[in-house]
Structure 1
Amino acid sequence: MIGVISGDIIKSQKIPKQQYDAMLYQLEQSLRAISNKSTLWNIYRGDAFQLQVNQGEQLIKTAILIYLHLKSAGYEVRQSMALGQIDNPRSDIKTATGSAYTLSGQGLDKITNQRFAFNITEQSIDESFSLNLIFVDTLLSKITKAQANALYVYLTQKNNNHAALAKELNTSRENVTKLLNLANYQLIERFITHAEQVIKNMIKGIA
């Protein structure tokens, strides 16, 4: 069982031509920042991308980090997450196949107003998990670039007490606390922890 994220930049067609290269550069930098040994990614069709997450329980956190990294640079992104099989593993994921890739791609085509969608092969998704994802979707869609940046740093730094984050962000501890509170950081962190356990249980249910 692996996770796959398919995503694209929202309203990229409205980005002026002279700014399009900067958008593509930022997308690549965001994917590089989030990726690690357990992920593979590819950019295609201009502003679209796919990312393979070999540790399925990290799927939600990975998608949220991608969203925050791009939002902090001024871009909105929508992402379709899927858990499933991979039938044809490839180092270049453009040619990989399997239910995880199929579900993820189909989910992106169906996204309307939300930022996140989640699907899983051979299982129904618990209604409470779906509702929580919608709530988190709504919360994240309302945060500012500065709040997104503070939340991204909070979620990725080992030492994430507010004083340490203030040095990292070159601001005051009071401002860090304000930004994180406005970003509902405790709720987002709790949801990520909850989602990891839910997905672990989903994977066990399929295995």
Structure 2
Amino acid sequence: MRKNEHKKNFHIMEELLINRKDLVQKYFVREKLCDSDYSIMHHEFNTTQLSSISEVSDTSSVPKACLSKVDFQCCFNSKQIKLITHCANKAHLFTLDVSEAEMKAFFACCLEHPLKSVCNRRVAFFFDALCEQKLISTRWQHVIDKNRLILSSSGKNVLLNSSKLSTALNEAKQNDGCVYRTIKLYVHIIAEVEEFTNSDME
């Protein structure tokens, strides 16, 4: 199993056990949890939220280190960060060119200031392409939203939230422009770099 995918699955289970007591109680009490049950549970985890504050599990006994903020669940190496940075600048995703240090901080969800989108559709397409290659969490929209990482192209100091990202992605997928093909190509190369690196380590 690839390193990124392993880390992503670990964080999904960590967040599930800490924050979704409702799903744990619903599925883990069964005598047997089969693959289809897990798929349904994973879908609910990605598409639903707790219905009320009273359902939130008690985290008072959980170590603070385990209560980390939601993140991309990724583990990029230096070559991948370099390629990601080059792609972001080549595709003109943000109003200012980004550095490798900024991209590292972005994926660590610790940017000092949010990046400003040039085109929300382009930005959404880029992160969805990373997700399709299993390089980042399927909840990337939620991660960007909750960590206040990107400002929308549509207004001054307006943050890109999950809803805006979802709309932008739907619009982008209806467009077959050159920039989207370029993004797809770069993301494919980024994924191949990971495969190559992992095969060298085996």
- TM above 0.5, yes or no, is no
TM-score normalised by length of structure 1: 0.30
Max Rg structure? 2
Relative to total residues, which structure has the larger strand share, 1 or 2? 1
